[in-house]
Amino acid sequence: MNERHKQASAWIGVALATALLVACGGGSGNSAPGTPGTTPPTTTPPTAGGGDGSTPVDPGTDPGTPKPEVSLAGLKFWVGDIGPSGETAFSGPQQPAFMCLTQASNLGAPEVDNHDGIGMPVYQIPGDTSSPLRGYSKECGVKTQLRYFYYTGSDFKPFDPATQFVTPPADMQRVRVNGADLPFVVRVEAGTINRFAYSTAILAPFAESSARPEELNNGAWNQKLVYWMRGGVGVGHQQGKAMWFGGLWGEEKPMMPRLLEQGYAIVSSSGNETGVHYNLRLAEETAVMVKEHFVQTYGKPRYTVAMGISGGAVQQYMFAQNRPQGLFDAGVPIQSYPDMVTQVPYVSDCSLLEQYFKDEVTLNPGSRWAKWSDRTLIEGLATSDTRRNSFLGGNGSSECIEGWGKAGPGVFNPVFSDPAFKSTAASLGWPDAFANVKWTHWNDLANIYGTDARGFAPIPIDNVGVQYGLQALKSGDIDTQEFLRINACVGSWKEQDAFVDWAMPPADPFDSRNMQRSADCRTAAGTPAPRRSGDVRAMNLAYSAGQVFTGKSLAIPLIDLRPWKEDVLDMHNSRQSFSARARLQAAGGNTANQVIWFTGETSQVGVATRATDALSVLDAYLTGGAQPSRFVDQCFNATGQTIAAGTQVWGGILDTARPGACTQSFKVNTSPRMVAGDSYRGDMFKCRPKPIATALADGTYGQTPGSAADPFSAEEKAWLARIFPQGVCDYAQPDMGRPQKM
């Protein structure tokens, strides 16, 4: 995940400038030219689906209850046609106040689909709101288009096949295809499906007719498909941009040529960009539809491999669980998280803790928390004494700030949204469309979570009973007074209807106006700041709607690839790969289908090189039908050389074994909740409490269970009881937010 502000500012800026200027496999489509290879094995890994619309697994629900399936109707279309969009039984009603960005994708203005004032206004002169109003676009549809691009060695530029095959551009690279040295030209189809902008890219080094799909020359296609998915953290209400027509991201520029030169076809959709939205049910539906359109247009691929970074990696874990057959056959999740929604508990802790440290240092400049690296003792996440602080200025910062500081308010502050979003809407002639939107992840998924009479969706954020800094107390790194002060003062987040807009840094860097705090929390005689109890039904629904990776199932092989970035306080912390594995181990999922690769190659080119390497291993797996020797845990240094490979290289992280070679080479940090006693799984929405008396007797604070000794004085015990009137977290017990059926 990349925090929403950084992602949003990039595409919104383009959108604003542009506005101001102007399934599954099978199907009944025609086969593309070329000779298919061996069909993937029918056991592990599974075959691609046959367009049969098989019902996905919906975790946490009765498996005997039929689920609505993704409609595959209307997905056979071509240039000049508009792909299907509209409300569906699978994902539910469409989100209102939805901004079309087809112009930002260089696809032109959206088609008018009504004159009833529903959706975005469409003007006669695109971008000129003073020109006559043509009508409105609810579905943001555009007619399907075909364009060609050539590769320069660093980027792709528009290519005119009518003239430039004869007179090639001077900077055009060439590519080896079946022994021949040919122009590096890519054909890209783009349009809209399910209200989002999709694209299909295939190497096309030959002059061809594009009047019908059957006339295309797909001789350079290797009959294999990559589904590329993008990351970010978004809360909906916008379409996003198409790849290729709308440009490529920095990490995609070195990746796409590697895939194309090997002959892979590449499909994508802005509906599979989590910076656009994080409704994974809607994203799953979109992926099924986009793949089915590819199948009906170009033919059934031998296999489909998913690839993507951050939120693009999350989708791979989630779709592998929720749709175990028919969509993807393997995946390369890069900088992964098991899911998004279980990141929220510790992300919501970050600003609470940083506000506490800020207050402490303000009151006492000599406080130990003035040393940033000490904050890891409580936060678990990476910190640095030398990194420039993007919120507070000066040297010293943390992952809580650099990774999550802006993402937090962008997920759970209902009245905060990027000002550029509203500015773009105004420039498109729709200034008041988003005035009543609740800008939270849960309101984005209102079809799942529901809303109250005021329009707020219930949220699961909960820190009742959480003992921040518990491990630091047990290890002797903080004393009882500091432990009690942290927990008395950390507070919690207010209820949604009490939120105010975030006064961004430096005014209110941690959104403290929306916190429940206490002015006299620092002594035993003071008043502890209240904690927040999350909505248990919202937690249950997150599970039952397939928004949580439970670890019960991993039906396809994944190479979880992670460039190590702890030293730069990157939000893609190393723990996440092991969080997914811990869930698989705890739930009896197929751990053999997940291998973890870490690399010191953190440049975009280095990551692309290692991702291509991972794809080659999966290609051998899918075509050969057996696990290759390289489908195994391993790690690489900064020059790409293997440090170690094998089943024990990550020893000491999820077990008590001696630290393996990779464990010793790459530091893995924890989280505020792990420091408080949670496990590597990181999937606890709401802990079950145990009485203070029980915690004082059972070794919770490091004392020998049953002994009379404990670290607290009588006064401190009374303070502890006032901080935690409902008891403290018992992490040995199941999550109170997890449905009992699971």
pLDDT value at residue 26: 32
Q: Are 490 and 351 in contact (CB under 8 A)?
A: no
Cross-strand pairs, 634: 597, 645
Neighbours of 292 (CB within 10 A): 28
Q: Are 579 and 338 in contact (CB under 8 A)?
A: yes
pLDDT value at residue 15: 32
Nearest to 565 by CA among 405, 407, 403: 403
- In this structure, the dihedral spanned by the alpha carbons of residues 173, 179, 185 and 188, taken in order and rounded to 10 degrees, is -140
Q: What is the DSSP string of 431-458?
A: TTTTTT---SHHHHTHHHH---TTSPPP
Cross-strand pairs, 515: 493
pLDDT mean by block of 10 residues, the chain; 742 residues: 37 29 30 30 31 35 60 97 96 94 96 97 91 97 98 98 97 96 98 98 97 97 98 95 97 98 98 96 98 98 98 98 95 98 97 98 97 98 97 97 92 88 88 92 95 96 98 97 98 97 94 97 97 97 96 96 97 97 95 98 97 98 97 98 98 97 98 98 98 95 75 96 98 95 72
pLDDT value at residue 55: 34
Residue labelled with tokens 């350079």:
220
Q: Are 590 and 626 in contact (CB under 8 A)?
A: no
**pTM for the complete prediction?**
0.91
Q: Are 483 and 490 in contact (CB under 8 A)?
A: no
Which residues in 725-740 are b (16+ Cβ under 10 Å) and which e? Answer: eebbbbbeeebbbbbe
Bond from prior residue into 691 cis (ω within 30 degrees of 0): no
Sign of CA dihedral 71, 115, 132, 236: negative
- Which uninterrupted H or E stretch holds 562? strand 558-563
pLDDT value at residue 342: 97
pLDDT in tens, 401-452: 999 998 889 899 999 987 888 888 888 889 889 989 999 999 999 999 999 9
Residue labelled with tokens 């009992």:
740
HSE, side-chain direction, 13 A CA sphere, residue 525: 0
pLDDT value at residue 66: 56
DSSP state at residue 570:
-
pLDDT value at residue 8: 35
Nearest to 636 by CA among 677, 605, 668, 607: 607
pLDDT value at residue 708: 62
